[in-house]
Structures are given as structure tokens and as C-alpha cells.
């Protein structure tokens, strides 16, 4: 006899109790679809939940995930240049050198009160990646996201009707000057010296 798959919960960002439920699922190392300050993201707590996220996304072991963090969490992980610190929070993801010398991490401090509260209450940064299977185009419409992932994640948090469809701008801050990796929602001209 095969086990029935459970359909995911649909939660709403503005509804009381959603914040607490989201934090609880992330504490349990579950993968949750969250309305980020850019596009919807497949998200999981940094640590052991990485494997679950790779499984949901069908992503191999070598490509890293970006991390959403509060400014304090970002500064514990990476060396944050002053100009990037002054730009955050915003839709800017920065590739930064890790403080422990172990390489680099792509980090974003989101400009979203709900996400900031999730990160604060969780006490941990979270992995975030576009909602899609690796190698396929990102899904940005919540109805399509729910249809595609309803048996693969335990919950979706629905944002506003104006939820973004443009990803964050990605810059590499390990180069001098910084390098633009991906154009996105944030105008990084000043950081890039343009």
C-alpha cells in the first residue's frame, strides 16, 4: 500500500498566526515557499534542511543557495563592506567573503518586515532559491507555484497581489571593482561605480 501524499497548507502573510506557523515549520527543517521581497522563494533554515531543499529543487550538491539574513546575521557569516551594509535592506544579493575563510556566500538582507521577523524569531538565516526545478524557468505566480509544488512542500505563504516577479540584483563583492552577476530589482549603479 502506498502512502498518500499530503497537500500543503496555504497560509497568508497578513493573517495572525502565519508568522508563528512559518517559524515552527522552518525550525522543523521543513522547506516552505515564502513571499520574499523580490519573487517567491523555496526557503529552509540554514543547516541540515539544505538536503531537503536540494531534494525539492532537484539541485545537485555543488551549486550553493543564497542566504536571507538580518544584517546582524549577515555580519556573523561574512565580511560586509560598508557600502553594501548601507544599501541593505533591499533587493540586493551580494557575494561576500566568509569570515571563517571558507570561501564565499551570496547573502541578502530583505526589505520585508515579515521576513525580517521570521529571521529574528528563528534566530537563524535561511536558504532561499527561486521556485522551480533546477534548470527550468522560475515560477512567479502563486497559483502556478501551488499547483506545481503542493505535494512537495508542507506550506506556502501567500504575499500581496503585487508580489514581485523580478529577482534580486546579484553582485560579486569579492572583485575590485564589484562585478554585476545578474540584473534585477535593485539599481546597483552606485555600488558598481557607474
pLDDT in tens, 108-130: 999 999 999 999 999 999 999 99
CATH number of the domain where residue 99 is located:
3.90.870.10
Spatial separation of the C-alpha atoms in residues 163 and 177, rounded to whole Å: 32
In the chain, the N- to C-terminal Cα span, in Å, equals 62
Q: Residue 49's beta-bridge partner residues?
A: none
| 98 has pLDDT over 90 | yes
Is pLDDT larger for residue 138 or for residue 10? 10
Residue 1 lies in a domain: no
The answer to whether residue 2 is domain-embedded is no
Q: How far is CA 52 from CA 16, 24, 163, 182, in A?
A: 27, 16, 25, 26
In the chain, the number of structural domains is: 1
pLDDT at 4: 54
| Residue range(s) defining the domain that contains residue 26 | 9-192
Asked if the structure places residue 3 within a domain, the reply is no
> How sure is the predictor about 194, in pLDDT bands with cuts at 50, 70 and 90?
confident
Per-residue pLDDT at 16 exceeds 90: yes
Amino acid at each position: 500500500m502506498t502512502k498518500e501524499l499530503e497537500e500543503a497548507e496555504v497560509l497568508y502573510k497578513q493573517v495572525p498566526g502565519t508568522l508563528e506557523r512559518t517559524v515552527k515549520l522552518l525550525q522543523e527543517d521543513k522547506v516552505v515557499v515564502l513571499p520574499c521581497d523580490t519573487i517567491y522563494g523555496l526557503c529552509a533554515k540554514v543547516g541540515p534542511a539544505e538536503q531537503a531543499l536540494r531534494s525539492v529543487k532537484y539541485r545537485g550538491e555543488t551549486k550553493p543557495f543564497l542566504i536571507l539574513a538580518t544584517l546582524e546575521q549577515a555580519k556573523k557569516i561574512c565580511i560586509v563592506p560598508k557600502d553594501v551594509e548601507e544599501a541593505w535592506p533591499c533587493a540586493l544579493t551580494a557575494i561576500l567573503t566568509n569570515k571563517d575563510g571558507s570561501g564565499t556566500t551570496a547573502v541578502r538582507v530583505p526589505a520585508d518586515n515579515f521576513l525580517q521577523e521570521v529571521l529574528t524569531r528563528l534566530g537563524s538565516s535561511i536558504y532561499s532559491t527561486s521556485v522551480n526545478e533546477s534548470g527550468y524557468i522560475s515560477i512567479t505566480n502563486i497559483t502556478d507555484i501551488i499547483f506545481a509544488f503542493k505535494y512537495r512542500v508542507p506550506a506556502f505563504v501567500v504575499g500581496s497581489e503585487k508580489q514581485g516577479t523580478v529577482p534580486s540584483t546579484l553582485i560579486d563583492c569579492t572583485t575590485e571593482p564589484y562585478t554585476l552577476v545578474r540584473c534585477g530589482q535593485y539599481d546597483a549603479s552606485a555600488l558598481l561605480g557607474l
